[in-house]
Amino acid sequence: MLTQADEVIAKRAEALFAHGLAKDRMEVVKRYGEVAGMSGNALHGGEVFKTNCSVCHVFVGLGQSVGPALNDFRSKPVEDLLLAIFNPNAAIESSYTGYLLTLKDGSSLAGVIKEESPGSFTLMLPGNVSQVVLRSDVAEIKALETSFMPEGLEATLTLQDMADLFSYISEAEGAVGPGRD
């Protein structure tokens, strides 16, 4: 919503989402740093994942989601995870660059391009839904400068939620995501 071509929607979204968010993302990362020394409950972490992460991430899987599969983060230090979660625009891996498409019918789509052919491409939308888009239907395509990972998760995730999520990421087996348990 923040990247909508319709300026009225973009300004409303900015006003709505900006309330209560820390402007200095690195300060948030630092504040959550104490999670590294906390114990977590992987069962509750699974619930945190389903509620907050599964709309764009799967646990295991390649190319099936808007964001990276979380099992790829098992061996990463907590500091790297905190940076990815609370300062998501610090680094965006090229394979997860978001695009805003304006279609010739006036509608728009935002997602990550997962497959391309001369006549079409597959766009992975938030919710991990794929949609084939014909190139002939596209009026404009624009790469987004920000990640699909939202800023501001500190407004809903406590330190204990994060410790539980990290426990889940390090302990869980198998695929978890939309439609999976």
Indicate which CATH number applies to the domain containing 126. Answer: 2.30.30.100
Residue 83 is assigned to a structural domain of this protein: yes
pLDDT band at 10 (very low <50, low <70, confident <90, very high): low
**Are residue 29 and residue 80 in the same domain, yes or no?**
yes
Average pLDDT over residues 42-60: 90
Residue 120 is assigned to a structural domain of this protein: yes
Domain span including residue 133: 98-143
Check whether 100 has a pLDDT greater than 90: yes
**Are residue 110 and residue 29 in the same domain, yes or no?**
no
**Are residue 54 and residue 125 in the same domain, yes or no?**
no
Check whether 67 has a pLDDT greater than 60: yes
What is the rounded average pLDDT for all residues in the chain?
A: 83
Instruction: Tell me, rounded to whole angstroms, the distance of Cα 141 from its chain centroid.
Output: 20
- Give the number of domains in the chain: 2
pLDDT of residue 29: 92
Sheet with 108-116, edge to edge strand ranges? 129-134, 120-125, 108-116, 98-103, 138-143
127 CB neighbour count, 10 Å cutoff: 13
pTM equals 0.74
Check whether 181 has a pLDDT greater than 60: no
Average pLDDT over residues 105-119: 94
DSSP tag of 66: S
**Are residue 158 and residue 87 in the same domain, yes or no?**
yes
